[in-house]
Amino acid sequence: MAGPLGYGVADGLRGRRRRDMPPPAPGRSWRRFVAITFALSWLATAALGGPPAATDAAPAWRVFWACAYYAGVMAWPPLLGTWLTRWADGGVAPDVPTHRPASRRDVTVAIGVAAALVVVAAIAALALDLDAALDLDALRADAGTVGAIAGVLVVLAVQALSEERGWRGASLDWAIARWGRRAGLIAHGAAWGLWYAPLFVVSATSASDGAPSLAAAAAIAVIAGVGLGVTLGWIRLRSQSLVPAAIANALLTVLAVALLPGAAG
């Protein structure tokens, strides 16, 4: 009896201490989340190095390994950053449930927005005369290709849900609570775009001669990141669910892996 009673008293005191704490400032929570997530992503990039060299592999498998590398660098830092921020705030920071159902309309809007962005990116790639990393004509309808594509879908589903849970979850609410809906979306989108800097750095340094320079890649990353971050945040706020934003994120990741010079090894 003493053991359970002692645990009950300890839990009660811990809960009372958290209830007595003042609510954390949303701006402070957001800055802490961004700092932790940035640091974790750069550490992961330094530990893993550049994307795997899989030039001898089939095109579909090059995409799979590129997506696996991408997930290894970017999927888990937002989740861990959110958890560490909530822990530092005494566990009282707000959160967004991942089980909220998404309507068909919200999913359709997310797919439509992602498709429109794909078209815009394709037009920009043609205008800049960029060579795609993946030769789609080389894809073959065989068992290996089907297996690689299935693996890509699994990896992207895990990565997109993890990334959206971290970035479009509580951290987006913190930014909006601090700066308002419009300014919060812009600040959050800018941070999300800059968070991709490690990927653009390793991609630009390993790209071919026809790829844009590191400075150009960084500029494209910032400009595109703000727009995409604001768009994904808008999708989450509109649907009040992480699922549509995760779907759009996964579709855009396929675009990045297929078109970004050097991304697919």
Give the DSSP letter of residue 265: -
Alpha-carbon span 4 to 170, nearest angstrom? 33
Cα separation of 23 and 44, whole Å? 32
Residue 77, class by beta-carbon neighbours within 10 Å (0-12 exposed, 13-18 middle, 19+ buried)?
Answer: buried
pLDDT in tens, the chain (265 residues): 445 444 444 444 444 445 556 667 888 999 999 999 999 998 988 888 766 665 566 667 777 887 888 888 888 999 999 999 988 887 655 555 555 677 888 888 888 888 887 777 666 666 655 554 455 544 555 566 777 778 888 888 888 889 998 999 889 989 998 999 999 999 998 899 888 877 777 766 655 544 555 566 566 666 777 888 899 999 998 888 888 998 898 888 777 665 554 444 4
Cα–Cα dist 6/12, whole Å = 10
Measured CA distances, 254 to 47, 106, 149, 197, 248 (Å): 24, 20, 11, 18, 10
Q: Rounded to two decimals, what is the model's pTM?
A: 0.77
Helices 59-74 & 197-205, crossing angle to 10 degrees?
A: 140
d(CA 112, CA 130) in angstroms, rounded, equals 24
Helices (H), 49-180: 59-74, 76-88, 104-128, 143-167, 170-179
Residues 173 and 94: beta-carbon distance below 8 Å: yes
Tell me, what's the pLDDT at 35?
A: 95
Query: How many of the other CB atoms lie within 10 Å of CB of 11?
Result: 10
The position carrying tokens 């910032």 is 222
Tell me how far apart the alpha carbons of residues 100 and 159 are, in angstroms, rounded to a whole number.
Answer: 19
CB 244 within 8 A of CB 250: no
Query: Alpha-carbon distance 46 to 228, whole Å?
Result: 25
Identity at 246, one-letter amino acid code = A
